[in-house]
Amino acid sequence: MPQIGLGTWLSQPGEVEQAVEHAIKAGYKHIDGAKIYHNHNEVGAAIKKCIPSVIKREDLWVTSKLWNNAHKPENVQPACEQSLKELGLDYLDLYLIHWPVPFQFVSWEKKDLVPKDEAGKLLLDRETSLVDTWKAMIELKKTGLVKSIGVSNFTKEMLEAIIKATGVVPSVNQIEAHPLLPQDDLVEYCNQNKINITAYSPLGNNLTGQTKIVDYPQVREIAQKTGSDPAQVLIAWGVKRGYSVIPKSVTPSRIESNFKQVVLSDEDYESINQLVKDGKTTRFNVPITYDPSWPINLFDEEVEKEAPLRAIF
Ligand SMILES: NC(=O)c1ccc[n+]([C@@H]2O[C@H](COP(=O)([O-])OP(=O)(O)OC[C@H]3O[C@@H](n4cnc5c(N)ncnc54)[C@H](OP(=O)(O)O)[C@@H]3O)[C@@H](O)[C@H]2O)c1
C-alpha cells in the first residue's frame, strides 16, 4: 500500500473531484474513500480522468469501506458492488469494515445509512457479530471484487476475536493516530501480528475547535527549523512510525505539500512524542458524541464511560 494517501472525508461535492485529480497528477497513488463520505461518484470521476493517461489502474490503490448498515453477511457483497458502481471501478485494492458497530439494515437508500427510530435514536443491530461480518468479508475476497480486506477502528480485543474465530488476519487496521493519540499498545499488537496500520486524521482533523496540532508551538518550531510546514512534520511523524498516512485536503497547494515527504530526526521525533503529557491523549473521533449518538463505549474514553452498551463483538 503506498504510504501517503489522500483522505476524502468531508471533501465536499464540487471540490473532491478536483482534489483527487490534482492529487493523482501530483503523484499520489493511494486514495482513501468510504460509502458514508457520500462522494464516491466524484472520486470515481476523477480516477476515470486519470486512467490511463496519468496512472495505470494497477498502480493506483483505492480503499473503500463497508458502512455500518451493511454488516449482515448477505449485505456485504451487495454493499461492495454498490460502492464499486458508484466509483466506476471493477475492483477495490482494499475494503475495510468501517466501524465495529452494526446498524440495522432498512434499505439501500441513502436516508437509511443511519437508521433511526421515531425519537431520532440510532437503531443498532444487536444480532450480527463482528465475526459474522468478517467471515463475509473473507468470502468477498474470493470473488475478486476486492484485493485485500481489513478493518477500521478495531481495538486489540476485537482483532483478537475475529482472528481467533477465522484464522484470517486483516491486512489493515485503519485507526485514528497522530501525536496526540499515538496508540502505542494497539500499534505494537498490529506490528506483532503483521497488520498494517493506516493513520487517519493524521493532522487532528481540525473539526473540534481545539488548538489544531499544526498550530502547536513545538510542531511549528520543528517545521521552521527543517524548512517544512507543520503538516509535513505530522505526516513525517506517522511515516517514521511505519504507518501509512492519509491526510485529507481539497486545497491544491496542501495536497502537493502533504505528499512531499520530509524526514524527522530522532530528536525532533522525540520532541513531538512529548506532546502527550502524563499519558493524557486526545481522541477526536468518538461516536458517542455524534448526532445521532452511538450509545456505545468503544474506546473507553472518559466521555464514553457512561455509555449504556459495551462494544459488540
Ligand atoms: N476510518 C475512519 O473511521 C476514518 C475517520 C476519519 C477519517 N478517515 C480518513 O482519514 C482521512 C484524513 O482524516 P481527516 O479528514 O479526519 O483529517 P486530517 O487529514 O487530519 O485533517 C484534515 C484537515 O486538515 C486540513 N489540512 C490539510 N492539509 C493541511 C496543511 N498542509 N496545513 C494545514 N491544514 C491542512 C484540511 O483542510 P483543507 O481540506 O481545507 O485543505 C482539513 O481541514 C479522511 O479524509 C478519511 O479518508 C477515516
Beta strands in the chain (DSSP E): 6-7, 30-32, 61-66, 94-97, 149-152, 172-176, 196-200, 244-245, 296-297, 309-310
Q: How far is CA 121 from CA 194, 210, 308, in A?
A: 38, 28, 13
- Write out the chain's pLDDT in tens, 313 residues: 999 999 999 988 889 999 999 999 999 999 999 999 999 999 999 999 999 999 999 999 999 999 999 999 999 999 999 999 999 999 999 999 999 999 999 999 999 999 999 999 999 999 999 999 999 999 999 999 999 999 999 999 999 999 999 999 999 999 999 999 999 999 999 999 999 999 999 999 878 888 899 999 999 999 999 999 999 999 999 999 999 999 999 999 999 999 998 999 999 999 999 999 888 999 999 999 999 999 999 999 999 999 988 886 6
Three-class SS state of 38: coil
Residue 33 CA: nearest ligand 1 atom is: 47
153 alpha carbon – ligand 1 mean position (Å): 16
142 alpha carbon – ligand 1 mean position (Å): 32
Q: Is the CB of 254 under 6 A from ligand 1?
A: yes
Q: Of the listed 37, 200, 216, 243, which one is catalytic?
A: 37
Report pLDDT for 13: 83
Report pLDDT for 205: 84
Three-class SS state of 41: helix
Using CA atoms, how far apart are residues 158 and 292, in angstroms rounded to an integer?
Answer: 24
Using CA atoms, how far apart are residues 232 and 254, in angstroms rounded to an integer?
Answer: 10
Cβ atoms of residues 80 and 66 within 8 Å: yes
- Check if 37 is active-site: yes
Report pLDDT for 313: 60
Question: Helices 156-166 and 184-192 meet at what angle, rounded to 10?
Answer: 20
Cβ atoms of residues 101 and 68 within 8 Å: yes
For the chain, give every domain's residue range: 6-310
90 alpha carbon – ligand 1 mean position (Å): 27
47: its cell numbers: 480516477
Cβ atoms of residues 196 and 244 within 8 Å: yes
At the topology level of CATH, where does 6-310 sit?
TIM Barrel (3.20.20)
Site to substitute for ligand 1 among 200, 246, 258, most atoms within 8 A of C-beta: 200
Using CA atoms, how far apart are residues 184 and 162, in angstroms rounded to an integer?
Answer: 21
